């Protein structure tokens, strides 16, 4: 089973920057699209974006475009989600998740097969 | 408001059958995009339960199945067990939004 290990909980103030990470324990890491999903306490799941680590192609949800940046370092099998200026509304649990299909072309019908354990981000105003 | 609509809560007694609906539109389910289901236990990450319209990953019992009708997909759980108590989310792709969408989630209570 592929494991996605995320960085630890973060407590920040509004206006600060932040980068959280997701490390994949799988040698085929660069060839799977990795998505990010947010869950605000007690609420549902929201798709943030998705990245192909091999060439850093990205797709963003319109709701998050310009608010966050995804990146990848395939040499260490890690993808990142970062904010340049946090807002209180960015507080929540953030999950990384791997699409089930290895393909340079994003297979939009594929599910998120494996998930990280989540990173809690708390932003105070 | 979620693009995919799920009932906020459903319940059933042990051994019974429950259904959780996921209603979309012509830009997602109605366009033929696969619907996936995830189970989330309290304090845990979501876990893939059913992929496509009815395929179960290894380890998921046959008590879980899905069916599709038009712009809706239903998750069916038979022989309800206490460990089925969790939040369930549907998930698909939306061509109008050019991205993935989730249902709002359904809390299943086993009475």
Distances (CA, A) of B57 to A39, A62, A100, B47: 24, 31, 11, 10
How many Cα atoms occupy the beta-carbon half-sphere of A11 within 13 Å?
A: 0
Q: What is the pLDDT of residue B53?
A: 65
- Tell me: the pLDDT tens digits for A35-89? 999 999 878 999 999 999 999 999 999 999 999 999 999 889 999 999 999 999 9
Q: What is the pLDDT of residue A101?
A: 87
Q: Any idea what the Cα angle at residue A49 is, between residues A43 and A55, rounded to 5°?
A: 155
Q: Does B34 touch chain A (CB under 8 A)?
A: yes
Q: Does B98 touch chain A (CB under 8 A)?
A: yes
- From chain A, the residues in CB contact with B20 under 8 A are none
For residue B17, pLDDT beyond 80: yes
Q: Does A46 touch chain B (CB under 8 A)?
A: yes
In DSSP terms, B86 is beta-bridged to B108
Q: What is the pLDDT of residue B78?
A: 97
Q: Does A50 touch chain B (CB under 8 A)?
A: yes
Distances (CA, A) of A106 to A59, A65, B98: 10, 18, 12
For residue A2, pLDDT beyond 80: no
CA distance B40 to B42: 7
CA distance A50 to A35: 4
- Tell me: the pLDDT tens digits for B44-99? 999 999 998 689 998 999 999 999 989 999 999 999 999 999 999 999 999 999 99
Of A50, A60, A111, the CB nearest to B48: A111
- From chain A, the residues in CB contact with B51 under 8 A are 100, 110-111, 113
CA distance A32 to A110: 11
Q: What is the pLDDT of residue B21?
A: 97
For residue A28, pLDDT beyond 70: no
Q: How confident is the model at residue B1 (pLDDT cuts 50, 70, 90)?
A: confident
Phi, psi of B30 (to 5 degrees): -65, -20
Distant-in-sequence, close-in-space partners of A116: CB < 8 Å, separation ≥ 6: A4, A5, A6, A22, A95, A96, A97, B45
| Cβ atoms A80, A71 nearer than 8 A | yes
Of A109, A112, A117, the CB nearest to B33: A109
| Cβ atoms B73, B34 nearer than 8 A | no
């Amino acid at each position: 089973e592929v494991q996605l290990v995320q960085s630890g909980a973060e407590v920040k103030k509004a206006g600060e920057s932040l980068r959280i990470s997701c490390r994949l324990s799988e040698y085929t890491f660069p060839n799977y699209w990795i998505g990010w999903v947010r869950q605000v306490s007690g609420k549902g799941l929201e798709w943030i974006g998705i990245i192909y680590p091999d060439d850093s192609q990205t797709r963003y949800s319109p709701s998050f475009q310009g608010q966050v940046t995804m990146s990848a370092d395939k040499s260490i099998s890690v993808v990142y989600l970062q904010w340049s200026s946090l807002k209180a509304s960015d507080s929540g649990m953030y999950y990384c998740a791997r699409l089930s299909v290895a393909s340079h072309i994003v297979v939009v019908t594929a599910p998120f097969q494996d998930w990280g354990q989540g990173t809690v981000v708390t932003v105070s105003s | 408001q979620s693009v995919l609509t799920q009932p906020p809560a459903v319940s059933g007694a042990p051994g019974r059958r429950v259904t959780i609906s996921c209603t979309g539109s012509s830009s997602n389910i109605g366009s033929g995009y696969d619907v996936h289901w995830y189970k989330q236990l309290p304090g845990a990450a979501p876990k893939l339960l059913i992929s496509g319209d009815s395929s179960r990953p290894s380890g998921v019992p046959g008590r879980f199945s899905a069916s599709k009708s038009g712009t809706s997909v239903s998750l069916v759980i038979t022989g309800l067990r206490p460990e089925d108590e969790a939040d369930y989310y549907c998930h698909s792709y939306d061509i109008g939004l050019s991205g993935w969408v989730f249902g709002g989630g359904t809390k299943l209570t086993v009475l």
